[in-house]
């Protein structure tokens, strides 16, 4: 019975649920997934261990999370990590100064304080900006972060994307680890609450629901390795550039189909892929362009000028058109600038 209820990601960008969660992405995500990555995603969903994605920039690490969330109809909470981010920021923030401010202004204005009895009904729409805050209720001043929101869900799990984890402080992954493990809970010290992911729980129809978040983490390995205990807990997948003509073609097809735009003429697509892959495989590049750069480049070839770029000309051209889209380093840029 558990197996029937199991969430499974198939990668065919059709939503599985008819009424997805309100925080679920509204637009389908054109994402071509390899069988190995699909397996890694499903394993992460099944074991509820964080999935760590590494790979070059622009190969679709970040996109995967919204593809998963869209297909399964699950809410997606994105957490962009910055150099100053602390692990607690993803759980909640507490605005003590606002509470103090409210106490003072209420003394002046002499508002009748809200009876503490209806604290329970105000619990419902916590995520919205409050207008009627009551300083007597400390819960009015906490705001949940991406992980905090995911822990609070009662009916379905959420997909949490922790983007570029390596940007944060050294301790960040270790701090995160204590939350993403048994017993799946954290404490809010200002209110004394304990927020706990609901699992395993049975709903009215006796189905088991597992509301532990599905965590997808991306890393660029910019600042060296992540700590070993953290890696041990994660599932690992290295996202490679799709260095294959067929795969690239599939990506383009899916992209234009889902975005409902007319695809470029097939001759142009084919020659663009050939040209791009030959540049990519030739070597000697300091920073290789990724899939997203390729798609941008193709779009420029197709629609930047009133007429699409001549496919035959692209094949023969000495210089690469729109190379500013592909090369982001001076050396690479100069290398392909010979004939221009």
Site string for other proteins, 198-227 (x = CB under 8 A): -------------------------xxx-x
Site for other proteins contains 237 (CB under 8 A) = yes
Closer Cβ to other proteins, 238 or 322, answer by number:
238
| Segment near other proteins (CB under 8 A); pick from 119-127, 131-139, 236-244, 305-313 | 236-244
Per DSSP, the three-state class of 273 is helix
Site for other proteins contains 86 (CB under 8 A) = no
* Interatomic CA distance for residues 201 and 67, integer angstroms: 26
For the bound state, the minimum distance from the C-beta of residue 231 to other proteins, rounded and expressed in Å, comes to 4
Distances (CA, A) of 102 to 134, 150, 160: 8, 29, 33
* Interatomic CA distance for residues 24 and 139, integer angstroms: 26
The answer to whether residues 124 and 152 touch, using CB atoms and an 8 Å cutoff, is no
Reported as half-sphere exposure (CB side, CA atoms, 13 A), residue 211 has a value of 20
* Interatomic CA distance for residues 287 and 80, integer angstroms: 24
* Interatomic CA distance for residues 249 and 296, integer angstroms: 14
Q: Binders of other proteins: how many residues, by CB under 8 A? A: 33
Per DSSP, the three-state class of 26 is coil
Closer Cβ to other proteins, 107 or 319, answer by number:
107
Structure tokens belonging to residue 147: 């992980």
Helix, strand, coil distribution of the chain in percent, nearest 5: 40, 15, 45
Residue of 82, 93, 170, 286 that binds other proteins (CB under 8 A): 170
Site for other proteins contains 106 (CB under 8 A) = no
Closer Cβ to other proteins, 83 or 262, answer by number:
83
For the bound state, the minimum distance from the C-beta of residue 143 to other proteins, rounded and expressed in Å, comes to 16
Residues 19-48 contacting other proteins, CB under 8 A: 36, 39-40, 42-43, 46-47
Closer Cβ to other proteins, 230 or 276, answer by number:
230
Closer Cβ to other proteins, 101 or 187, answer by number:
101
Burial 65-75 (b: 16+ CB within 10 A, else e): bbbbbbbbbbb
For the bound state, the minimum distance from the C-beta of residue 37 to other proteins, rounded and expressed in Å, comes to 9
Residues that bind other proteins (CB under 8 A): 3, 6, 36, 39-40, 42-43, 46-47, 49, 52, 54, 96-97, 100-101, 103-104, 107, 170, 223-225, 227-228, 231-238
């Amino acid at each position: 019975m558990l197996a029937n209820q199991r969430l499974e990601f198939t990668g065919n960008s059709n939503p599985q649920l008819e009424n997805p969660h309100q925080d679920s992405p509204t637009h389908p995500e054109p994402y071509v997934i390899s069988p190995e990555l699909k397996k890694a995603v499903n394993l992460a969903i099944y074991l509820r261990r964080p999935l760590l994605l590494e790979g070059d920039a622009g190969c679709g690490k970040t996109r995967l999370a919204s593809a998963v969330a869209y297909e399964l109809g699950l809410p997606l909470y994105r957490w962009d990590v910055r150099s100053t981010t602390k692990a607690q920021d993803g759980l909640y923030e507490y605005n003590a100064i606002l509470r103090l401010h409210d106490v003072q202004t209420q003394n002046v204005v002499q508002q009748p304080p809200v009876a503490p009895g209806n604290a329970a009904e105000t619990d419902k729409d916590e995520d919205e900006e409050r207008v009627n805050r009551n300083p007597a209720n400390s819960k009015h001043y906490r705001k949940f972060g991406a992980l905090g929101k995911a822990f609070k869900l009662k009916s379905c799990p959420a997909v949490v994307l922790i983007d570029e984890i390596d940007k944060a402080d050294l301790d960040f992954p270790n701090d995160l680890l204590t939350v993403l493990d048994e017993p799946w809970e954290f404490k809010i010290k200002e209110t004394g609450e304990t927020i706990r992911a609901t699992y395993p729980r049975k709903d009215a129809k006796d189905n088991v629901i597992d509301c532990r978040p599905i965590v997808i983490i991306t890393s660029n390995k910019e600042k060296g390795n992540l700590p070993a205990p953290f890696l041990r807990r994660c599932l690992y997948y290295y996202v490679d550039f799709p260095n294959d003509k067929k795969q690239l073609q599939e990506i383009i097809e899916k992209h234009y189909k889902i975005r409902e735009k007319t695809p470029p003429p097939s001759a142009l697509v084919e020659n663009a892929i050939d040209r791009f892959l030959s540049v990519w495989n030739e070597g000697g590049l300091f920073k290789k362009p990724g899939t997203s750069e390729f798609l941008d480049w193709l779009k420029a070839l197709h629609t930047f000028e009133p007429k699409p770029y001549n496919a035959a000309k692209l094949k023969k051209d000495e210089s690469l058109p729109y190379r500013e889209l592909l090369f982001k380093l001076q050396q690479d840029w100069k290398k392909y600038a010979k004939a221009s």
